[in-house]
Amino acid sequence: MAIDLTTLTIKKAHEGLMSGDFTAVELSQAYLEEIKNKNADINAYLEVYEDVVKQAEEADRKIKSKININLLIGIPFAIKDNILIDGRKVGAASKILEGYVAPYDATAISNLKEKGVVFIGRVNMDEFAMGGSTENSAYGVTKNPVDTSRVAGGSSGGSAAAVAMNGALVALGSDTGGSVRQPASFCGVVGLKPTYGAVSRHGLMAMGSSLDVIGPIGKTVEDVEIIFDAIKGQDKYDSTSFYPHEESGQRCPLTTLKIGVPKRIFDQGGIDEEVKKNFNDTISKLKSLGHTIIDIDLPNISHALGVYYVIMPAEVSSNMARFDGVKYGNIKKGDTLLEDYLNTRGEGFGKEVRRRIMLGTYVLSSGYYDAYYGKANKVRNVIRADFTKAFKEVDVILTPTAPTPAFKIGEKTKDPLSMYLEDIFTVTANLVGIPAMSVPSGVSSEKLPLSIQIMAPHFKEESFFV
């Protein structure tokens, strides 16, 4: 039977699988067919796994014998190319990792394997998750399925595009400064950045270790919640992982939410007029639904992006030091060991990665450390304290997800700073460590998706879910 992939959700797929309307093999084949038709143009997938049908057969076998029945059994996933699956190629869309095969499973992946999901393939991204458009991938840009002259966003552009083009029911991405939420916004799907530590980083290639978190992308809030529930929790392999055992019991009340909107949110330049209008319309709509809108003061929020672009490159320059062509990856040999390093890293890393390593090396160098890295960390604490204070008054805080709808391919590649400004609303949640979710809130006059971002206090993801 033909499966309507456009309106499919995890629960609907589960019902279909349980009632025998379709098998897991048929479900996966429906997605493979879409990929065959669309991926050459969209370029969401870097690799479609050869054993998809075999994985689905395994799920069907369990469904038939009623073993391990759960909502995620047989559900097709796309996985960002920086999350390790044992025995499969993974490369962070970088030439320096060409041919690398993961020696173990990321914890989020083991969690999904226990549920019996089907991994369709690995999807494109900005190299090592550095970028907001997937234009920094060594394997070409991912086009936006809504308008193929535009970017899918980034860095998890392949994850968002795969879901939007019906190339997978759901996907995993990673978010260091907005990399799950912004592409979700550009492609018109839902993206969740969990609380820092709520999902183990074990097996996620490190970018900014105090900021990184794995997050789900799906078509509905419910789908994202189901995946989050499957991958969250403390993990002995990530000492920074933590999730309270008790449910907070504060699920989203449908009528009585206190919603904070930061004052002077649009003071900063570069915010698209349609984004502003859509945000204000959304706020009015929420008010008319009975929610209370409260103007809140986040006095240092305008400095978040500056703080982020000091701390993130500093952590990047440290984390990227491991790629030396000695232990793994694609070595470019010279006459001496030093030349091996210079060639391997000079040729293996793309331009944006090199730029951030240099910037990080600068802000960490003696003489500049206090003025940049030291100061940024202090301001980070001040911003965190501002949010704690704000959350005493409100349940959630709302902003747009991105300052613009999806932009044209090539529009921002000449000026790195203009690309960095894309992160203006999203980086704060990473600096503070709080959860944030991007939800579609309408379309622009050019029919491009727009989204709002909802932020909640640490470990209060439940307040996003009805």
> Read out DSSP for 290-330?
TPEEEEE--TTGGGHHHHHHHHHHHHHHHHGGG-SSSSSS-
Give the count of beta carbons closer than 10 Å to the beta carbon of residue 281.
13
Residue with smaller CB distance to other proteins, 277 or 384: 384
Where does this chain touch other proteins (CB under 8 A) — which range of 24-32, 219-227, 246-254, 355-363? 355-363
Q: Which of 179, 185, 200, 463 is catalytic?
A: 179
User: In the set 272, 340, 411, 462, which binds other proteins (CB under 8 A)?
Assistant: 340
- Give CA 119 to chain center in angstroms: 17
Where does this chain touch other proteins (CB under 8 A) — which range of 77-85, 176-184, 265-273, 334-342? 334-342
* Contact of 407 with 418, CB cutoff 8 Å: no
Q: Residue 354, interface with other proteins (CB under 8 A)?
A: yes
User: In the set 365, 408, 446, 466, which binds other proteins (CB under 8 A)?
Assistant: 365
> Read out DSSP for 348-398?
HS-HHHHHHHHHHHHHHSTTTTIIIIIHHHHHHHHHHHHHHHHTTT-SEEE
Give residue 134's identity as a one-letter amino acid code.
T
Q: Residue 376, interface with other proteins (CB under 8 A)?
A: yes
Q: Residue 254, interface with other proteins (CB under 8 A)?
A: no
* Contact of 223 with 10, CB cutoff 8 Å: yes
User: In the set 206, 207, 217, 379, which binds other proteins (CB under 8 A)?
Assistant: 379
By CB under 8 A, what part of segment 430-459 binds other proteins? 433
Q: Residue 294, interface with other proteins (CB under 8 A)?
A: no
Q: Residue 410, interface with other proteins (CB under 8 A)?
A: no
**449-455 vs 436-443, strand pairing mode:** antiparallel
By CB under 8 A, what part of segment 84-143 binds other proteins? 100-101, 103-104
What proportions of the chain, in percent to the nearest 5, are helix, strand and coil? 40, 15, 45
Residue with smaller CB distance to other proteins, 22 or 328: 328
Q: At closest approach, how far in Å is the CB of 362 from other proteins?
A: 6
Q: Residue 349, interface with other proteins (CB under 8 A)?
A: yes
Q: Residue 306, interface with other proteins (CB under 8 A)?
A: yes
Q: At closest approach, how far in Å is the CB of 294 from other proteins?
A: 22
Q: Residue 407, interface with other proteins (CB under 8 A)?
A: no
Where does this chain touch other proteins (CB under 8 A) — which range of 127-135, 181-189, 348-356, 456-464? 348-356
User: In the set 219, 232, 345, 460, which binds other proteins (CB under 8 A)?
Assistant: 345
Check residue 269 and report its DSSP letter.
Answer: S
- The span from the CA of 21 to the CA of 439, in Å, is 30
User: In the set 317, 399, 430, 438, which binds other proteins (CB under 8 A)?
Assistant: 317
* Contact of 333 with 346, CB cutoff 8 Å: no
Task: Tokens 């038939």: give the residue.
Answer: 64
* Contact of 161 with 191, CB cutoff 8 Å: no
Q: At closest approach, how far in Å is the CB of 239 from other proteins?
A: 4
Question: Catalytic annotation on 174?
Answer: no
Look up residue 396 and give its two tokens.
Answer: 């959630």
* Contact of 266 with 280, CB cutoff 8 Å: no
Q: Residue 221, interface with other proteins (CB under 8 A)?
A: no
Query: Which residues, at least 6 apart from 164, have a Cβ–Cβ distance to it below 8 Å?
Result: 144, 145, 146, 152, 187, 188, 189
Question: Helix axis angle, 24-42 relative to 52-64, nearest 10°?
Answer: 160
User: In the set 289, 346, 393, 447, which binds other proteins (CB under 8 A)?
Assistant: 346
Question: Catalytic annotation on 159?
Answer: no
Nearest-CA neighbor of 329 among 102, 105, 107, 46?
A: 102
Q: Residue 367, interface with other proteins (CB under 8 A)?
A: no
Question: Catalytic annotation on 392?
Answer: no
Q: Which of 80, 115, 143, 193 is catalytic?
A: 80
* Contact of 112 with 230, CB cutoff 8 Å: yes
Q: Residue 322, interface with other proteins (CB under 8 A)?
A: no
Catalogue the active-site residues. Answer: 80, 155, 179
Q: Which residues of the chain form contacts with other proteins (CB under 8 A)?
A: 100-101, 103-104, 210, 236-237, 239-240, 300, 303, 305-307, 309-310, 317, 324-331, 336-338, 340-343, 345-347, 349, 351, 354-355, 357-359, 361-362, 365, 371-372, 375-376, 378-382, 384-385, 388, 416-417, 420, 433
